[in-house]
Amino acid sequence: MKSALRNAYYFTLSRYSLNPNPSLLQIAPFISTFPSLPSVLSRNHPFRSPLCATLMAGGDYDSLQTSPLEKQFEKFRVQLEDSGSLRERIRAVVLEIESATRLMQASLLLVHQSKPIPEVLQKANSQINVLKGLYNKLAEVVRECPGQYYRYHGDWRSETQMVVSLLAFMHWLETGNLLMHTEAEEKLGLNNSDFALDLEDYLVGVCFMSNEMPRYVVNQVTAGDYDCPRKVLKFLTDLHAAFRMLNLRNDFLRKKFDSMKYDLRRVEEVYYDVKIRGLATTGDSVGDQGAQKI
Amino acid sequence: MLCSSSAAIKRISVSWLIMANNSNFKSHRLSRSESSTKRPRTMSIHSSLKDAFSSYADHLNALNEKRERIVKASRDVTMNSKKVIFQVHRISKANREEVLEKAEKDLAAVRDQHISRLVKELQGTDFWKLRRAYSPGVQEYVEAATFFKFCQTGTLLNLDEINASLLPLSDPSLEPLQINLLDYLLGLADLTGELMRLAIGRISDGEVEYSERICQFVRDIYRELTLLVPLMDDGSDMKTKMDTMLQSVVKIENACFSVRVRGSEYIPLLGSSDPSSFLVGVSDVEL
């Protein structure tokens, strides 16, 4: 009986020789408290017993329970290391997205210096294809663990919000309209993908875009474009009204939406300044002058 | 020509009525003929914006309502799992079988009545998107289930085993609710606190060997977890749990030490208030 014990002890030692597991050294005292253990060992071929699942079915022999315990945790460690390395790859792609975004932003800033819009947009548009490629790269990486988009979503959330705000601003400069959620997805090449553009990211991006409006309007008026405030005011009013249709929780999106009304107010002030001084030159201002303010 | 001018007159008269009723410039402006070309364009832009945002609103409403239902179910899971834990704590040499029997029944009830609600709500991307809503409940359930298993067999309930027990709750055609690795580890960290309480309690009852087994078990878990904590996604809560866990391990070790050292003085059935009890001076169990 003693030799069976010794065999099991040495076997487990050799099996886990690389594992700094102090609990193994305590097998001996524990075995003494479980007198039935040696008989089980001799029955079940001690050379295989630490790895044999059937031994564990007994349930009370926790000295050898470290095996399935350790196996499970070893499996966990591998899983966590894999997800860690996946996260690193995601981070690498997101950094590239960030730098492409910064280039886009830098060229869009020229619009405040009243460079002609088509010229500004051309430079910014060239980055869109870069972004498209990067987002597809990101989608490929995330596709390796299906269903876990939202596990890693935080790693690209703020960058995506910035991208959406720039795309929406560019779309507005081109067309005067709001870039829709599906249109934004198309621009980034994500419309047919399982890697979607999260709706809340899109909405926050739109709010960031509205933050740009007051500054744009002020600079346009300074440069002499007196029609701009009217267009911007109309756009922003519609946008704000549309956002009011949403029921928001008290989260980040709500805070950004709240800031939109300050942008709206700022644009209203600029519009008012231009109007009362009769600087706006469209037929609109003539019609307004004809109306009697009560 | 005549029609358009009569229409224009009608529009202007309407506009004066509107002006009389409110001083809103915009409605007055829209009634002007030169704005009539703008009106259809305005309306179409506005209505497409309206349509789009009403679909966004529907999406967000559905998401938030689902989140609320999940939070409610998670709270019930937490509450009832805690009851299972308290039930298992009532264990002693005398009533072991009946305590464990009742605990098993209660644990099954948590699964059938409350976790099933989570199963109904969660599909696809929900598992990770809404994880923060149901994670506390799941952690508490893991704590209760592993605690029960340890008292029953002295072994650790595996993640695979616990997930296998949840499979029957789901419709085979749908994705089953499977507890993810992170929630399992967080629940395991809480388990060690309960085991510490159990160990101290068993020592008072005289079951010193049982407590030593608990000590060994908790040490194993702590050791395994130290390798995993740095690798976990947002491991900050886990780090604080590890500190608490080490304190639990030390408490158990100190209690076992006291029994060994003062073994000759130890008389079973004396409470810790007795001045000769080895538990005098041991710090209180913190909740």
Closest C-alpha to B255, from B191, B210, B190? B210
Q: Categorize the per-residue pLDDT at A53 as very low, low, confident or very high, splitting at 50, 70 and 90.
A: very low
pLDDT for the residue A202:
97
The tens digit of pLDDT for each residue in B225-255 reads: 999 999 998 888 899 999 999 999 999 999 9
Higher pLDDT, A271 or B272: A271
pLDDT for the residue A191:
83
Averaged over A54-65, what is the pLDDT?
Answer: 45
pLDDT for the residue B253:
94
Q: Is the pLDDT of residue B45 over 90?
A: no
Residue B198 belongs to a domain: yes
Contact list, A177 vs chain B (CB under 8 Å):
45
pLDDT for the residue B8:
53
The tens digit of pLDDT for each residue in B89-119 reads: 999 889 999 999 999 999 999 999 999 999 9
Q: Is the pLDDT of residue A43 over 50?
A: no
Q: Are residues B195 and B175 in the same domain?
A: no
Contact list, B60 vs chain A (CB under 8 Å):
199-200, 246-248
Q: Are residues B144 and B186 in the same domain?
A: no
Of B123, B156, B179, which closes a domain?
Answer: B179
Residue B58 belongs to a domain: no
ipTM of the complex: 0.73
Residue B207 belongs to a domain: yes
Residue B282 belongs to a domain: no
Residue B126 belongs to a domain: yes
Residue B16 belongs to a domain: no
The tens digit of pLDDT for each residue in B198-225 reads: 999 999 888 888 999 999 999 999 999 9
CB atoms B50 and A242 under 8 Å:
yes
- Compute the C-alpha angle B275/B281/B282, nearest 5°: 125
Q: Categorize the per-residue pLDDT at B4 as very low, low, confident or very high, splitting at 50, 70 and 90.
A: low
CB atoms B29 and A199 under 8 Å:
no
Least Cα separation, residue A147 to chain B (angstroms): 6
Q: Are residues B110 and B151 in the same domain?
A: yes
The tens digit of pLDDT for each residue in A87-137 reads: 999 999 999 999 999 999 999 999 998 888 888 899 899 999 999 999 999
- Domains defined along chain A, listed by start: 82-197 (1.20.58.190), 201-278 (1.20.58.200)
Number of H helices, E strands in chain A: 13, 0
pLDDT for the residue B205:
86
CB atoms A60 and B154 under 8 Å:
yes
Q: Are residues B74 and B165 in the same domain?
A: yes
Least Cα separation, residue B228 to chain A (angstroms): 6
**Could you list the residue range(s) of the whole structural domain that residue B93 is in?**
67-179
Interhelix angle A199-223/A157-175, rounded to 10 degrees, is: 50
Q: Is the pLDDT of residue A142 over 70?
A: yes
CB atoms B53 and A294 under 8 Å:
no
Least Cα separation, residue B195 to chain A (angstroms): 16
Averaged over B8-37, what is the pLDDT?
Answer: 48
Q: Are residues B193 and B119 in the same domain?
A: no
Q: Are residues B73 and B175 in the same domain?
A: yes
* CB A184 within 8 Å of CB A167: yes
What average pLDDT does chain A have?
80
Q: Are residues B173 and B194 in the same domain?
A: no
Q: Are residues B208 and B147 in the same domain?
A: no
CB atoms B45 and A283 under 8 Å:
no
The tens digit of pLDDT for each residue in B50-73 reads: 999 999 999 999 999 999 999 999
Q: What is the DSSP string of B214-249?
A: HHHHHHHHHHHHHHHGGGSTTTHHHHHHHHHHHHHH
CATH number at residue B113: 1.20.58.190
pLDDT for the residue A84:
94
Q: Name the residue among A30, A76, A242 with its Cβ closest to that of B228.
A: A76
Residue B22 belongs to a domain: no
Q: Categorize the per-residue pLDDT at A238 as very low, low, confident or very high, splitting at 50, 70 and 90.
A: very high
CA Rg value for chain B: 32
CA B86 to chain CA centroid, Å, is 19
Rounded to the nearest 10°, the torsion over CA A60, A61, A66, A67 is -110
Q: Are residues B166 and B187 in the same domain?
A: no
Q: Are residues B127 and B209 in the same domain?
A: no
Least Cα separation, residue A294 to chain B (angstroms): 6
Q: Are residues B190 and B159 in the same domain?
A: no
Q: Name the residue among A150, A283, A288 with its Cβ closest to that of B25.
A: A288
Lowest mean pLDDT among A72-86, A201-215, B28-42, B200-214: B28-42
Q: Name the residue among A33, A150, A178 with its Cβ closest to that of B128.
A: A150
Total domains in the fold of chain B: 2
Closest C-alpha to A101, from A52, A159, A55, A53? A159
The whole-model pTM stands at 0.74
Q: Categorize the per-residue pLDDT at A15 as very low, low, confident or very high, splitting at 50, 70 and 90.
A: very low
Contact list, A292 vs chain B (CB under 8 Å):
19
CATH number at residue B226: 1.20.58.200
Q: Are residues B257 and B194 in the same domain?
A: yes
Residue B27 belongs to a domain: no
Q: Name the residue among A23, A147, A149 with its Cβ closest to that of B220.
A: A23
Report how far residue B89's alpha carbon sits from residue A83's, in angstroms, rounded to the nearest whole number: 37
